[in-house]
A and B are shown apart, each in its own frame.
Chain A
Amino acid sequence: MLQSKAFMKKTRRGQVVKVVREHYLRDDISCGAIFCQSCEKESACLSSSAPNILIVDTNVTLHHIDLLENNAIDDVVILSVVLEEVKNRNLSVYNRIRALCSNPMRRFFVFANEHHKDTFVKTMPGESPNDRNDRAIRSASLWYQKHLGQGPPILLLTNDIENKRKALQEGICTETVQSYVESLGRPELFDLVAQVCDSSLAEMDIEDSRPSKKKLIYPEHRPMSEITSGLQQRIFHQGKLRVNRYNPIEAYVNSESIDEEIIIYGRINMNRAFEGDVVAVELLPEDQWKEGNTLKLIEDEEDEVEEKVGLAPDSVDAAPTSLQAKPGDFGSKIGSRTCGRVVGIIKRNWHSYCGSLEPMPMPAGVGGAVNALFVASDRRIPKIRIQTRQLGNLLDKRILVAVDSWDISLRYPLGHYVKTIGDIGDRATESEVLMIENDINNRPFSEQVLACLPPLPWSVSQDDLKCNYREDIRHIRVFSVDPPGMYQIREANQMIEEFMLAANISVAEKILKHYPLCALLRRHPIPTPKMLEPLIRTAAAVGVKLDITSSKSLADSLDNALGNNDPYFNKLIRILATRCMTQAVYFSSGELTPPEYYHYGLAAALYTHFTSPIRRYADVIVHRLLAAALGLFKLPAVFHDKVQLNSLADNLNFRHRNAQMASRASVELHTLIYFRNRPTDAEARIVKIRSNGFIVFVPKFGIEGPVYLTPKAKDNNGEESCKNSADWIVDEEQQRISTRDGKRVYMVLDVVHVHIEVIEPQPNRSKLVLTLLK
């Protein structure tokens, strides 16, 4: 049964290392067809009634995953060589195709062609890995054709012309995705077909339609070999591209090979990289580095740099980058910042994005394919060009779009429509968008999950009473201090909080004592002096001295920070203080040293979440640990698997953060809806001075945003804007901004009155605007 074929692989890990791995070929791999006479049928799913049994190649899987996910496509064989390639190139597509294959409702079968003795192909001398994989796909298709001679015909779907030609030569039925979808006669599937960049499409790009103007907009990406050697020689730096949420043409790359954060300005320098892509960056010559504050856009872009009015941030993590103190922030003495440009993309982070189409007139004629520009609601994502045959249906909808490719000659990437979420502006639709954007799964629980629950209606059974780890406390009078409408009972509430903290802390102590290496705890990192610097600066400006040596001393000095007959002053300082801190995170105790377990916010040496297992998954985990510590249950296996436990903690943090982001975004959405038809005046406090205005916080609504003292430069001619901004003098030390003549002075924490209203500068992108009331 075992056949062995050793093959050589070369990997680069600093040096060339020869890797020899065994590769066993088997004769017991099932073909997955229900009607097959010879193969084992346990996992078989391909039905004999299918019109075709489809085999897809790697690129089809990568680019047409949305099509494959559609119910119209079934009876598909996914080859393991395809899966492997997809996994290396795009993990999210890999997860989606895996989900398809394991879905019992769909008929997708994974055929391990690489380990089947008849379908394995050896790399021929001089053959590229791509060619070899294509050959493997053809060899498997041919095998299927022979093996399932009686069943439905095998159809290989490939868009690769060369592969298609060879397949036809070898006698394999093959079609392109486009022609296959056409043959199905289901027009709604057309939009799901990915856009592949070829010359004909490039000409469709309106901006480049005239041949004379057809030009390459972006520089070519460097070949991978050059990037690898460049990374080794430290000419290039590798890191994840993070686009500034508030200024989408500015991005940062943190690379291990360089201490500083590399800033990338402008779309040309970003060179088609998306948020989250792993990129290789080359540093620009130092004379092209930008002064931190005098930065102006170097390109004529329609995207504007602006700060948004939104919910007040409650921690560093939630604050926009531009609000954070950074070296090079305005007034700072540090000069220019390291600038770079992207020379290659090592790993794409493409997935589908929520948004809407840019309004455009309906073209003449019906049913034809039209090009439309898609604007993602996440501002970090560039516009995406898609082709659709249902423009009329989509114009006023929130839709999901996936990216397919981005050619150097195209200003925007190409993508395709995935699905419609709902009408723009509709509360449910917009909420759904928030969910999708923050990767929150709001699908109903699966049947397997529900099967874990006892059937309803539930009552205490004899078994429950006999259970040795449960106690009957029904005879004790229990009441809730937190019923609806009872939140006025302040003290009771406070009491509950103290009980809760005490419970959490004692549980943390107990589980750590029993499981010093795998207790799930929650820590709050001690803020560094640098993080607290903006707070101290602001406090100093208003004459308050803060002691940040410990959390207790900070709490004490915050208690003492009382403004002169300003009841709100203390609260404001506290709000600013929390903003300087990072969020608390879950972690496994084996990963850190005991001093790092500290929870700064609660001033507790140990802390965890235990009290709400019905709301938080972390509490469920802690409950299991506690149950094991008390000897009631066995410790689940996950706690012994360090890697799995860490990924669990990471996921908890990721989900927690996403939930918070979504919650904030939801409040912002509802704030927007609230103000849409009722412009309001309100009292606000200045929390930060900027070069052309200040940031205010509106306590009544909990919102925060910029107030511009000078009209935006964009609205005036350049000269005027210079003059205007020169009228205002910023005093960094005192945190104040004043007119040259000193008639008007604004200081940090001053009270101002602002007007709140909703405007819609671009269609479908309404936003809140704060203006100062004189």
Chain B
Amino acid sequence: MALEFISPEGLRLDGRRPAEIRQLRANLGVIDKADGSATFEMGNTKVIAAVYGPHEVQNRSQQLLDQALVKCEYSMANFSTGDRRRKQKGDRRSVEISLVIRQSMEAAIMTHLLPRTQIDIFVHVLQADGGTRSACINAASLALADAGIPMRDIVASCASGYLNNTPLLDLNYLEDSGGGPDVTIALLPKLDKITLLQMDAKLPLEMFEKVFELGNKGCVAIANYMRNVLLENTKDLAFARGVVKV
């Protein structure tokens, strides 16, 4: 018998209802040396992101004359999963996720304002419980905002899936390994533009539309939370410093 991911009472294994996201937590400015940094938690998934730059391009040959060079490195801590395994740096999965994060961030950063510069984004998974990809994008987005890098909009990401004939929002590891499709969406919510859409299984179109719709709603909810965190952070900084009139 297939695992029962949603009880007939409508509760998921961890007690959420199908369209609920896990508890979100975010902190800004967690790394002193970095220009911008953030931790982002979605339930038990916890990632840390650091942004360095914009700064001088390290490899002169990669310098772009009309826009900023965005680099991204994704890695997973050895202790991030239950079994401690030394993970190879630069394996296929990391390279792929690095690329995914970089591309969805590049779509938001106003790179044309920062020619001949480089922006480094480092994301590190501290604890993995499904949805690491989304959490990384959210953390990177916050870190970029913290670094004061101009962006068209905040990038918010959320995964959704389809198990037991029900669309589910924000899958945790257990649900992720349930064999159903896993749709990761990254959204520019105010502009209503998708910067990332990934799915690793087949899903009929009408199902997909439902799952996609749900994922979209999740992104909007997460974006609202992120905006709140950013605003509170701005206020904290401004109130501590006081008003400066030149």
Contact = CB atoms under 8 A, between A and B. Distances in A.
Contact flag (A, B; Cβ within 8 A): yes
Interface of A: 2, 4, 6, 15, 17-26, 43, 80, 91, 98, 101-102, 110, 112, 114-115, 634-635, 637, 640-644, 647
A15 B2 CA distance: 24
Contact of A637 (B14, B22, B201, B207): B207
Given A22-B22, A22-B44, A115 B204 contact: no
B9 A635 contact: no
A110 B2 CA distance: 21
Given A20-B129, A24-B16, A637-B165, A15 B11 contact: no
B242 interface: no
B204 A26 contact: no
Given A20-B127, A22-B43, A80-B7, 19 more contacts: A2-B20, A2-B23, A4-B43, A18-B82, A19-B82, A20-B129, A21-B14, A22-B14, A23-B14, A24-B15, A25-B15, A26-B15, A98-B8, A634-B206, A637-B204, A640-B201, A640-B203, A640-B204, A640-B207
Contacts of B129: 20-22
B83 A643 contact: no
Contacts of B1: 91, 647
A102 B9 CA distance: 10
B20 to A, nearest CB: 7
A640 B9 contact: no
A643 B179 contact: yes
B160 interface: no
A115 B9 CA distance: 11
Interface in B149-205: 165, 172, 174, 179-180, 201-204
A521 to B, nearest CB: 19
B93 to A, nearest CB: 20
Contacts of B180: 641
Instruction: Enumerate the 10 nearest inter-chain pairs by beta-carbon distance, A residue then B residue, closest first.
Output: A24-B15, A115-B15, A17-B82, A22-B14, A4-B23, A22-B43, A643-B2, A110-B9, A640-B202, A112-B11
Contact of A112 (B9, B43, B202, B204): B9
A26 B1 CA distance: 28
A644 B2 contact: yes
Interface residues of B, number: 30
Interface of A is mostly: mixed
A453 to B, nearest CB: 24
13 contacts: A20-B82, A20-B129, A21-B44, A110-B7, A110-B8, A112-B7, A112-B9, A112-B15, A115-B11, A115-B15, A634-B206, A640-B201, A647-B2
Nearest to A17: B82
Contacts of A98: 8
A112 B12 CA distance: 11
Nearest to A2: B23
B60 to A, nearest CB: 46
A23 B13 CA distance: 8
Interface string B208-238: 0000000000000000000000000000000
Given A4-B23, A642-B179, A114 B44 contact: no
Contacts of A15: 83
A20 B22 CA distance: 14
Contacts of A101: 8
A79 to B, nearest CB: 11
Nearest to A110: B9
A18 B79 CA distance: 11
Query: Which of the listed residues B2, B8, B14, B15 has the most CB atoms from chain A within 10 Å of its own CB?
Result: B15
A634 B204 contact: yes
Contacts of A20: 44, 82, 127, 129
Most chain-B CB neighbours within 10 Å: which of A2, A637, A642? Answer: A2
Interface in B24-57: 43-44
Nearest to A21: B14
A656 to B, nearest CB: 20
Contacts of B7: 80, 110, 112
A102 B8 contact: yes
A7 to B, nearest CB: 11
